[in-house]
Structure 1
Amino acid sequence: MKQGQFEQLYQPLWQVIELQIIELEKPEGKLKGEELASFASRYRRLCHFHALAKDRHYSSHLVDKLGDLVVRGHQQLYRRKQPFMQQFTSFIVAGFPRLVREQQSYIWWATALLYIPGLLMFLAILWQPDLVYTISPPEQVSQYESMYDPQNRVLGSARDSETNVQMFGFYISNNIGVSFRTFASGILFGVGSIFFLVFNGLLMGAVAGHLTNAGFTETFFTFVVGHGSFELTAIAISGAAGLKLGYSLLAPGNLTRKESLKRASKIAIQLVYGVIVMLVIAAFIEAFWSSNNILDPWQKYLVGGFLWAIVIGYLVFSGRGLRGETATPATKDESGSARG
């Protein structure tokens, strides 16, 4: 890309950053929470543009101007850090769903690797019930049957409050363990993440298919429909983060594999932060709501559908229109090469 095209395309962004820096440099200058969060996002992209300008040997005037803004921005960014809770809230409300949308290609691949094998296994077990034993040993299958047997159903709360708290902790530990393995194994060029996504999908489909054959559909599906929206989506996002790590090693572009992995891991770790929050919510629902049998099945399905709508709506729409979300082609170019 020629310098003229580069400036025409990206100059509006660094002009906005310059105005924000000037405002922050004033003794009384203040930016509100959302403005400060957008400044941090834009500053990272400014650093990227500065690196590109140097790498492409653009004029010293442009390189020095961008370098000056980088230095001044750095001083203001680290002098005026947001309080932790403000940063956390901003990330959950806007930053995380925006990041999911930016990485949607990985999200779709991970979702397909989780759900398609699960659906195929579900249909296969409906046709050939004994296939369940290729996924789970007989004793574990018996445990599933005992857990969801309608004869063992208790009206109202299935457990006392102390047990619910204990199960809440167990679900958090178990779900985070599954998600972390799915994410971290992506370092094996993505193969590990693919394996865990497919395996969890097959296990999910096998259990659902077997319990359907056993006639335990009401107890099983009314239990999982509530927390499944948060838990399954979180596992898919964990897998997407792992796939991103793997792809950074397989296709580093103009970077070394080490540098490519370093850049990809910064984004992947942020995805995992959001996943942890989703898994805590899923564990809370599973411990205190899913096991409660006081409502009719249609009521639990209605609530479950509502929770799925919340998760999908949050990831699709939350954070749109805020100042931190601006679309420019260079944002997703992690290899350091130009797109244009």
Structure 2
Amino acid sequence: MNLKQYVKQHREDWKELEQLVSLLHKNKRNFAAKDIQQFHRLYQKSAQHLSYCQTYFPKEDVTFYLNGLVSKAHNLLYKDQVSSFKQIRYFFTTKFIGLLAEQWKFVFIAMILFTLGAVGSFFSVLQDPLHLYSILPAEIAYAVDPEQLGVGHDSIDSSLMSASIMTNNIQVAFLAFAGGITFGLLTAYVLVYNGIIVGALAALFWHYDMTYEFWAYIVPHGMIELVAIFIAGGAGLLMGYKLFVPGPYSRIYQLKEQAKRSVQLLLGTIPLFVIAGVIEGFITPAAISLEAKYFVAILTVVGLLLYMVIGTILFQKEARVTRDS
């Protein structure tokens, strides 16, 4: 049986289970016994369907859809209602990492687009420093002065700067995410454009023989910041791809389903932007050695790797529990 036939044969059961899940969430006490029985029957059938799809259609949207539906039904059947704190902890320790594991290819593509912009502008300005004024916005091109790097940081209001940076970065991430509705074209533009800015500035400091100093002021916050932007960009590219290639589903359905997943990816980046903003506001301008700034960058990378590893272990553990139940 092909995918289209399988979905057509069972989608009414899935739709009914989804409605029962929604009703049970809203009003548990007034749920009739016959509804509970029907809920349990549909849950068991959908769990079997999920197992079948994981075997024969492992990378199709229907498998991800069923995994989410069965997980929701399982939680209602076998778990007590958890507190908001536990839900938040579950999202950031397990759910978010699971979404990343499923959509890592789009995050990787986002990184490639950013890198292409950065490499292109770097070699352009390296060839002729005057290209800087045609590549960068005027307010950046005329304001940057490598010889003034680190000067005047003592007078900076770190709290205000940190809040401003966080707001700006989240806006960039949201724009990259929302660009998915343009079939990913705006998302690609945002990623390439931000890469161009970084690449052009890196080339300018190269001309002044200040590459070491430049990256010391970029990498402490930049490692986390770029990862967050790549994730947000990947969320936008995912939505754009599903709109461009909807498969057996309508584009409206894909927009609805992929928007949910993409929004979750975007929400998962907010703590990363908060951490990056705090580092950029308080540590980057601090009167500490360049080596100390690089050490902070190393700590952020180690922290990110540990977060990903631990989250992956928790996600795989939950997947096994769901599959065996």
Q: TM-score range by the shorter chain?
A: 0.7 to 0.9
Equivalent position to 2:185, from 187, 191, 196: 191
Report the 3-state secondary structure (helix = DSSP H, G, I; strand = E; otherwise coil) of the residue aligned with 2:143. helix
C-alpha deviation, 1:312, in angstroms: 3.6
- Look up the match of 1:119: 119
CA distance, structure 1, for counterparts of residue 211 and residue 85 of structure 2: 42
Q: Which structure shows the higher helix fraction?
A: 2
C-alpha deviation, 1:230, in angstroms: 1.0
Q: Is the 8 A contact 1:106 1:241 kept in 2?
A: yes
| 1:319/1:149 CA distance change after superposition, 3 Å | same
Query: TM-score with structure 1 length normalisation?
Result: 0.69
C-alpha deviation, 1:164, in angstroms: 1.0
- Look up the match of 2:261: 267
C-alpha deviation, 1:100, in angstroms: 0.9
Structure 1 gap ranges (5+): 7-42, 54-68, 330-340
Cα deviations by residue, 1:158-203 (Å, 9 ceiling, x for unpaired): 346xx11111110111001111111101100111111111111111
Spell out the pairing of 1:312-323 with structure 2 (5 A cutoff).
Answer: 312-321=305-314, 322-323=316-317
Cα deviations by residue, 1:122-164 (Å, 9 ceiling, x for unpaired): 133122212212222444223121xx5347535xx7346xx11
- Look up the match of 1:172: 166
Spell out the pairing of 1:1-340 with structure 2 (5 A cutoff).
Answer: 1=1, 46=46, 49=49, 73=74, 75-76=76-77, 80-145=80-145, 148-150=146-148, 153=151, 158-159=154-155, 163-294=157-288, 296-321=289-314, 322-326=316-320
| 1:72/1:197 CA distance change after superposition, 3 Å | closer
C-alpha deviation, 1:274, in angstroms: 0.7
Report the 3-state secondary structure (helix = DSSP H, G, I; strand = E; otherwise coil) of the residue aligned with 2:218. helix
CA distance, structure 1, for counterparts of residue 95 and residue 128 of structure 2: 45
CA distance, structure 1, for counterparts of residue 249 and residue 138 of structure 2: 49
C-alpha deviation, 1:83, in angstroms: 1.0
How many residues were matched structurally? 267
Query: Mean Cα displacement is larger for which, 308-317 or 242-251?
Result: 308-317
Query: TM-score with structure 2 length normalisation?
Result: 0.72
CA RMSD in angstroms comes to: 3.3
| 1:89/1:205 CA distance change after superposition, 3 Å | same
